[in-house]
Amino acid sequence: MEEKREIINRYRRLLRKSKPVLKGNDAKLIKRAFTLALEAHKDMRRKSGEPFIFHPLSVAEICVEEIGLGTTAIIAALIHDVVEDTDIELADIERMFGKKIAKIVDGLTKVSGVFEYGTSQQAENFRKMLFTLSEDVRVILIKLADRLHNMRTLESMPRNKQLKIASETIYLYAPLAHRLGLNAIKTELEDLYLRFTDGAVYNEINNKIDESKATRNKFIKQFVAPIKEELDRLKVDYEIKGRPKSIFSIYNKMRKQNIPYEEVYDLFAIRIIIDSPLEQEKSFCWQVYSIVTDYYTPNPDRLRDWISTPKANGYESLHTTVMAKNGHWVEVQIRTKRMDEIAEKGYAAHWKYKDSISNQESNLEKWLVRVRETLEKQDTTALEFVDDFRGNLFTEEVFVFTPRGELKTLPAGATALDFAFDIHTDIGAKCIGAKVNQKLVPINHALKNGDQIEILTSSKQKPNDDWLRFVVTQKAKAKIKDLLKEAKRKLADEGKEVLQRKMKQLKIDSTNQVFEAMRTFFNVNSQLDLHYAVATGRIGLSELKRFKEYKPESPRPKVEEIRREGEPHARKPHEDILLIGEDMDVVEYKLAKCCTPIPGDEVFGFVTMNEGIKIHRTNCTNAPELLSNHGHRVIKAKWTSQHEVAFLTGLKVVGTDRVGLINDVSKIISEELKVNMSSIAFRSNQGIFDGEIMLYVNDTRHLDLLIKKLEKVEGVVKVSRFDSATMSRPQ
């Protein structure tokens, strides 16, 4: 009874919040959708134990309140899980609510079935959802609302599911929210990702932000006092907000710059929002900038003018970083009410201003056109597709010009070759170089803001594999792949005829089983690759003779066979035990080289194709990619009680140089704490030293003790563990 009352209360709250967007028959349609969802999910519960209907109601509420969507999205959000979880089919949805809503629900429904080797259900689901993006952006916006609610309620999920869902979020959904201009949602998704993958760091930063709240508020009050006086004279409505940077962005700065919280110099930003007429927006923003810089000295390298050239997601604002009277840098963001709404609510807010201003819309529309081009290329695997799509979610851009002065926006890191393909495929395919600001440069020259580029072509030029390393835009990558595939296909057709002749000559049958064995023997992925290898001479008559004598080995054991109960990892006596899988068995494993886990680290197991189970730290830089694209190959892993056994890890030591310092450091390591070192390398430059020490420790507590002791050595400024970010690919 209590639950029924709560469901009705939540439904009424949704209707209250929807009221401003409802027209004519809308309330009836929403009621019909709610009734359908209530009936369909009546016996279902979420992992937390609450009725499942709470989830679609919350998603619909996020769509209205936090994204600013209307009735169509509310209905789709209410019934988005119905087709997947019950007997109701898409045809029923179409009959009840029309084609448009059925199409959105289809985009939100997961793909079912078995997937080919080398791909994953997650990637297929991403691809299906993104295919509908080009037709109706609401699919992605509702999916983001769905993901946000799942992240807010992730507490009740098992640990391996938490890691998988959080990693997908940081890998694809947070960049998507950023690209669609949903700043508030992007920030919350990033913070929640950190909370569930590295709770200790999240809590530490969160506590420090809370502790400094009173001091921060006092400082903001003093900082804005003189600015307020001047703004009052402008006779314009304004609002000033002071807010700390998000936990995730502080964490990112700490990690990238390898600094503690206290050294992150712009921990918060001041936002000045003015209410000005559309035609005077620019001049008012610069007037406010002038007022701020009258009182505080700006950092000339930190001025960002996104009013004259908005970001690709439509974001407009004027940013400057100024020096406050207490010696702290403060970021000041200046924008109008319209700009602020677009910055927070992104794509959905554009519709409100669509008629009055076109420039921001066009940037988003341009991006959607690029997405549609990506989506038309259906010959890539789902994993390649997701990877390519992520490449479209660039956060930074460069603004460059054609010889005639036309402005082009490209992602940061774009080269002259990217620019050539952006103009036209034929120009890209024949590009031999470029003139950037009248100077001759090669095709891999990286472009900078304000460059003016003229492309040089030659009819003899042909694309090669190296080109894929030079380009960053999706358009260029896709076109180069197409051109290379076309060239490869022509050669492969010739190779096919040659192979058939040689197989006849050697009396080898042309059956599917033979070709499969041949692909395994020559280590190629497809029939096309096999024909290509023949055409290029890598596979000749002598290689085919060797194949004829080859006897296939028995197939590799499957994951289930690797994980036979009680099969031990070859351990030394008293070694820590790593328990793996749902049943927490002791099985064989290897420690990943990309993040070198040690006991006490939070870890997960990943089933590799050829090397059994590998153990990664949950905050390994490769974790989001592994968990996002191959969540089905992730298994639980945790250390049991700690025993004395040595694990190799690395420490970075930085400080001011003095005689005897290395001796003091090595004394603490080898004599006081009896730790074995495998290597030590110190460099000194102008009185500053930095060193890297590889040593054997028992667990994270042992390592923390060692770091604390080393930090007390005279001259040592900072000691930190090697971060996995210093290494790249998963090992």
302 to 120, 134, 178, 305, 330: CA distances (angstroms): 43, 36, 21, 10, 11
DSSP state letter for 637 = E
Q: How many Cβ atoms are within 10 Å of 449's Cβ, its own excluded?
A: 10
The single residue of 3, 85, 379, 426 carrying the catalytic annotation is 85
Q: What does the alpha-carbon distance between residue 131 and residue 139 come to, in Å, rounded to a whole number?
A: 10
DSSP state letter for 601 = S
Would residue 85 show up in a list of annotated catalytic residues for this protein?
Answer: yes
Q: What does the alpha-carbon distance between residue 494 and residue 225 come to, in Å, rounded to a whole number?
A: 78
Whether 668 and 709 have beta carbons less than 8 Å apart is answered as: yes
Length of the chain equals: 731
Q: How would you classify the pairing of strands 688-697 and 634-639?
A: unpaired
Q: What does the alpha-carbon distance between residue 378 and residue 629 come to, in Å, rounded to a whole number?
A: 18
| Residue in the structure block whose two tokens are 């059956």 | 511
Q: What does the alpha-carbon distance between residue 194 and residue 152 come to, in Å, rounded to a whole number?
A: 12
The region, left, alpha or beta by phi > 0 then psi within -120 to 50, assigned to residue 683 is beta
Backbone angles phi, psi at 678, to 5 degrees: -100, -30
First CA to last CA distance, the chain = 54
User: Taking the alpha carbons of 534, 540, 543, 548 in that order, is the dihedral positive or negative?
Assistant: positive
Q: What does the alpha-carbon distance between residue 120 and residue 100 come to, in Å, rounded to a whole number?
A: 28
Partners of 434 in the beta sheet? 441, 455
Would residue 657 show up in a list of annotated catalytic residues for this protein?
Answer: no
The residue type of 82 is V
User: Taking the alpha carbons of 342, 347, 353, 354 in that order, is the dihedral positive or negative?
Assistant: positive
Q: How many Cβ atoms are within 10 Å of 228's Cβ, its own excluded?
A: 13
Q: What does the alpha-carbon distance between residue 369 and residue 134 come to, in Å, rounded to a whole number?
A: 8
Q: What does the alpha-carbon distance between residue 455 and residue 418 come to, in Å, rounded to a whole number?
A: 11
The single residue of 2, 50, 61, 84 carrying the catalytic annotation is 84
Q: What DSSP element (H or E) covers 10?
A: helix 2-18
- b/e burial code for range 675-699 (CB count within 10 A of at least 16 → b): beeeebeeeeeeeebbbebbbebbb
543 to 503, 522, 533, 546, 566: CA distances (angstroms): 11, 9, 11, 5, 43
DSSP state letter for 567 = P
Q: Which residues are catalytic?
A: 84-85
